[in-house]
Amino acid sequence: MAVIDKVGRKPMLLVGSVVMFVSMVLTGIIVAKFRHNWPSHRAAGWTAVSFIWVYIGAFGATWGPASWTLVAEIFPLSIRAKGASIGASSNWVNNFAIAFFVPPMFEAWAWGTVFKSRTGEADRRLLAECRRELGLEESLEDAALEEVRRMSVGAEKAPDARVEVA
């Protein structure tokens, strides 16, 4: 709140808008240009990811706090609660609309989802491939889950027992 009061609402929202716009435009350009051959353009992929992080940081520093402050301050005290509730409801409705309409948009677009697939099965295969490349075999995951189960059963039998990490 101190930063918002010191810098001002409008400058924060304008700077945040510009940074978010530039980062999304650059991400879109990178994805459009290199989407057909990510393995040979790893640096471009990480650059796109970094611009998404910049977008998230800009939103979190500007629009995230300033928009709620504006909603709370824009209404007079006599109707502030109702105005803030309308603002929050609008936020929920817009979030619902995005969640509702984005999946059909991905189906209609040529590039599909972020993982370039249109089905859960293709995403599952991609996840399995990533696990293999990282050396995370299912047997390791199963062994870790079994160890956690064994420890939790042991903790239920003896709640005062200590678990030592080697």
Q: Where are the domains of the chain?
A: 2-113
Residue 37 has pLDDT above 90, yes or no: no
* Domain covering 2-113 in this structure, CATH number: 1.20.1250.20
DSSP letter (8 states) at residue 75: S
Of 8-22, 34-48, 52-66, 101-115, where does mean pLDDT reach its minimum?
A: 101-115
Q: What is the mean pLDDT of the chain?
A: 80
Residue 13 amino acid letter: L
Distance of alpha carbon 59 from the chain centroid = 12
The structure tokens 């990533």 sit at 130
Q: Is 112 left (phi over 0), alpha (psi -120 to 50) or beta?
A: left
Predicted structure pTM score: 0.56
What does the block give as tokens for 151? 């420890």
CA dist., res. 14 & res. 19, Å (int):
9
Residue 20 amino acid letter: M
